[in-house]
Structure formats: C-alpha cells, structure tokens
Amino acid sequence: MELIAFYAFATLAVISSLLVIGQRRPMTSVILLIVSFGALSGLYVLLDAPFTAVTQIIIYAGAIMVLFLFVVMLLNAHTEDDVPKTAVMPHGAKIGVVLSLALAAEVVWALQRLGVTGFGPDQGASASISSVARIGSALFTTYAFAFEVTSILILVAMVGAVVIARREP
Amino acid sequence: MLSLNHFLVLSGILFSIGTAGVFLRRNLITILLSIEIMLNAVNLTFVAVGRYRLIVDGQIITFFVMTVAAAEAAVGLALVIALFRHRETLSPDAFTMLKW
C-alpha cells in the first residue's frame, strides 16, 4: 500500500518537474511546480513528517509560488524569447542534456551502492519524529540560535528585495 | 517494502531534473524555478534520512532550507524585475556585460 502511494507520488513529482523545464510558458511552469510540491508533500506524509508536509504546502505552494506567479504576471513576458543561437556556445543545449544525464546516472549509481534497505525500527518508534512538539522543542532549544539568525536573514532579504526592485529615482 | 533507497534515488532524479533546467532554459524565471526543484530534492533527502535514523533534525534543517528558499526567491525575483526593467527581456544571454 505504502509502495503504491510512493510510486504514485514519485511519478507525479518527476513528470511535473520534467514538464516544468520542458515547456516555454513561465506561467504553466509555475502551476506545474505547485503540482510537484503537492506530490512531495504526500511523500513527506509517507515519511511520517506531517509538519514538513504542511509547511511545504503553506510556504512553498502558498507563499513562494504566489510570489513567482505575481512576478510572471507583472513582467508580462508570456513565452520564452526566440533568441538566436549564441556564437559562444552553439551546442550548449546538447552539452547541458549530456551533463545532466551524466549527473543523474552518477547520483543514482552512487545511491544504489549504499545498499540501505528498510526503514529501521517499526512504526511505533516513528511516532516520536512525527510529533510537532518534538520538532518545536528541538527548534527552540538546540537550534534556537539558528532560528533567531533566520529572522535576521529574512529581514535582510526583505530590505534587499525592496532596494533592488525599486525604480531608479 | 518502502526503503530509504527509494527516496534517495527519487531525490537524485529530481535534483538532476533541476540541474537540466538550469542548463537548458533561457528564461530567468524558469531557471529560478529549477533551483527550487533542486532545493526540494535536497529537502526530501534530509527528511528521508531523518526518518531512517529516527531523529527530528532532518525536518528542522528542511524548515531552515525553506526559509532560505523564501529569501532567495524574494531577492532573485527582485533582481529579475530590475533586469527586465533595463533590457525588456528575460533571456540570460542579454545580461553578459560582466562576462567578457
């Protein structure tokens, strides 16, 4: 049962990700990426991580993708420009395909060699990592410093985004 | 039987798809979307390994990666807007002034 759900979500994620990079309209890309994030959220549920699944939907599909959609609509650039092939890298696309296929083969080969099977202990033990209380207490004790630094990061990103996107006076 | 290997291989495939997108697409927004795919592949690895070792650290670092992704998306899209305002195009080939 779990295996069927895994393959369904995995297929959905891979196909929608391929379609994201496979077609030329940024608007469709963004919508398809939301589908891919939904599938990943289902995989997080399979991994006993409901908190991560929900944050995936709220932050990624809800906030980040809406930001992307907003910019795509704002810029009014409907499709990719038909740029002439640059003289610098005439076969750039082919090299790119070969390099990414090589990367996929390397990564899959290396991960297969790890030879890990199963998921360790049974379902009872996995309840300990799916509790939001455990995540919260770890986040606010062990990782409290990182958590606070994150707020500075977001502040800097916000100010930076406003300054960069501002119209020149 | 579901195993850690399934998730690692899937995340490797997703990461390669994101890399292919960065290589192949000639649109700044799609390139940023491909980077998001790569970040999500890494997130999946973190959560899967955290589940395998029965520790919550995997989910916590995923939380931080999401925060960084949000900051990166905000600044990246601001840069895209500024660049589009100067050149009226989203093709990375139009922004080669610093290259040579």
- Residue at B100 is within a domain: no
User: Where is average pLDDT lowest: A82-86, B33-37, B60-64, B70-74?
Assistant: A82-86
Domain that holds residue B37: 4-94
CATH number, position B38: 1.10.287.3510
* Closest by Cβ to B2, choosing from A6, A30, A167: A6
Looking at the complex, does the CB of residue B17 fall below 8 Å from at least one CB of chain A? yes
Cβ pair A135:B59 closer than 8 A: yes
Q: What is the pTM of this model?
A: 0.89
Looking at the complex, does the CB of residue A29 fall below 8 Å from at least one CB of chain B? yes
Mean pLDDT, chain B, rounded, equals 89
Six-digit token string for B46: 């973190």
Residue B47 pLDDT more than 80?
A: yes
Residue A10 dihedral angles phi and psi, to the nearest 5°? -65, -45
- Residue at B15 is within a domain: yes
Cβ pair B71:A157 closer than 8 A: yes
- Over the stretch B63-76, which tens digit does the pLDDT of each residue have? 999 999 999 999 99
- Residue at B99 is within a domain: no
Cβ pair A116:B51 closer than 8 A: no
Q: Which is more confident, A86 or B3?
A: B3
Number of domains in chain B: 1
Q: Supply the pLDDT for residue B25.
A: 83
Partner B, chain A 94-133, Cβ-Cβ below 8 Å: 95-97, 99-101, 103-104, 107-108, 111-112, 114-121, 125-126, 128-129
Six-digit token string for B78: 């601001």
Which residue, among A52, A153, A6, has the nearest Cα to B57 in the 3D structure?
A: A52
Looking at the complex, does the CB of residue A58 fall below 8 Å from at least one CB of chain B? no
Six-digit token string for A38: 């939904």
Q: How confident is the model at residue A152 (pLDDT cuts 50, 70, 90)?
A: very high
Residues of chain B contacting A112 with CB distance shorter than 8 Å: 5, 9
Could you confirm whether domain A1-78 is CATH 3.10.105.10?
A: no
Structural domain boundaries in chain A: 1-78, 131-169
State ipTM.
0.90
Partner A, chain B 68-87, Cβ-Cβ below 8 Å: 68-75, 77-82, 84-85
DSSP string, A19-45: HHHHSS-HHHHHHHHHHHHHHHHHHHH
- The Cα of A54 is separated from the nearest Cα of chain B by a number of Å equal to 11
Six-digit token string for A41: 């959220």
Residue type, A37: F
Which residue, among B59, B43, B36, B10, has the nearest Cα to A133 in the 3D structure?
A: B59
- The Cα of B40 is separated from the nearest Cα of chain A by a number of Å equal to 8
Q: Which residues are CB-contacts of A102 (< 8 A; sequence separation ≥ 6)?
A: none
Q: Which is more confident, A168 or B52?
A: B52
